[in-house]
Each structure stands twice: as structure tokens, then as C-alpha cells.
Amino acid sequence: MDDAPASRSSIVATAPTASGPVGAVQTFRLNLVYLAGSEPPEFMITLDDSLGFRTVDALERFLEGLPAGTVLDWDPGCERRGNEPLLSDPRGLDAFRGFCARHGLRLVVHPGG
């Protein structure tokens, strides 16, 4: 995990596992985890519920090492507490989409409803 001081919002991830046979496109499920009892609210981003990141920067450093074509599947839901990484500020999600595009990663965001 990234130990550098950062904003109070966090993102989480653990050793990811590839979905599908060798040579197939990898798909990872992104999740946003609320850290209960934190004030102000704190969050972590996880990949496949096993790899956690405290910051978007730490997540991006990890993602840079994934092969082009990797799919990041994210269903952030519609409940908000405020201060969620990538969701509270539309510019954050736009910047992350741009990062994914530059690195050949396919970000699939399911609309909340």
C-alpha cells in the first residue's frame, strides 16, 4: 500500500486475479469502500476486493503496469456520503477516464440508478 501522506479520501486494492484464460483480456472490478466511523468520510478503492489503494495516484501507478486492453469494470452505485474519490468532483472522473485512455485501459462505468 502507498504510505505517503495524502488527502483524507482513500482508494483500496489487493493482489488481483485475471479473469479468463491465459492471453484473454483481463477484467478487474473496481469498488469504492467506505471506512466506517471516519469523520470526515474516508474511502478506499479496491480491485477485485483484494488490492486496495489509499489515493487515486497510487491506483494509477499500479494501473500503469497493466497491459493495454485491460478492462476496469466499475458500478459505483447511487448512494453518496460526500468526498468520494473520482465521484464527488466530475473533473476527477474525467481525469481518470483520460488516464485510462492514455494507457489503453477500458473503463466501464455503470450508471447509478
pLDDT tens per residue, range 49-60? 899 998 999 999
User: What CA–CA distance (Å, rounded) separates 59 from 82?
Assistant: 20
Residue 12: pLDDT band (50, 70, 90) is very low
In whole angstroms, what is the distance from residue 88 CA to residue 11 CA? 14
Residue with the larger pLDDT of the pair 42 and 24: 42
Q: What is the pTM of this model?
A: 0.73
Span 2-26, average pLDDT = 48
